[in-house]
Amino acid sequence: MSSTLIVQLDMRTLCQEADVPAAYVIEIVEHGIVEPSGRTPEEWVFDDRAPVLAKRAAKLHQELELEWEGVALALELLEEVKQLRSENSMLKQRLGRFVQG
């Protein structure tokens, strides 16, 4: 029986790991950038992707002086570009098999 380790972080731990204030985390959650389980900030539990997303969101907010809506949109578009690049690479590999010869 293999066990999968699921990392769960509370608000304080997330703030420490991402090096962001709680007010940023609340904004990030309100704008759907990170989706914790739990109803209130005291109950929120985050997965192990949350610190990376929170840190990236805070960086966009501070360095580019984006409003949180803009941060959410930018992260969404960056993720979409990443997925499209991955898909494009896979399709090029498949096409390459047919073109050789």
Architecture of domain 9-99 in this structure:
Orthogonal Bundle (1.10)
- What pLDDT, on the 0 to 100 scale, is given for residue 97? 87
- What pLDDT, on the 0 to 100 scale, is given for residue 10? 95
Tell me how far apart the alpha carbons of residues 48 and 46 are, in angstroms, rounded to a whole number: 7
- Provide DSSP, 41-90: TTT-EE-TTHHHHHHHHHHHHHHS---HHHHHHHHHHHHHHHHHHHHHHH
Contact (CB, 8 A) for 40 and 26? no
Task: Identify the DSSP state of 10.
Answer: E
Phi then psi dihedrals of residue 45, to 5 deg: -130, 130
Percent over 90 (pLDDT), the chain: 87
pLDDT in tens, 19-53: 999 999 999 999 999 999 999 999 999 999 999 99
pLDDT in tens, 46-96: 999 999 999 999 999 999 999 999 999 999 999 999 999 999 999 999 998
- What pLDDT, on the 0 to 100 scale, is given for residue 101? 55
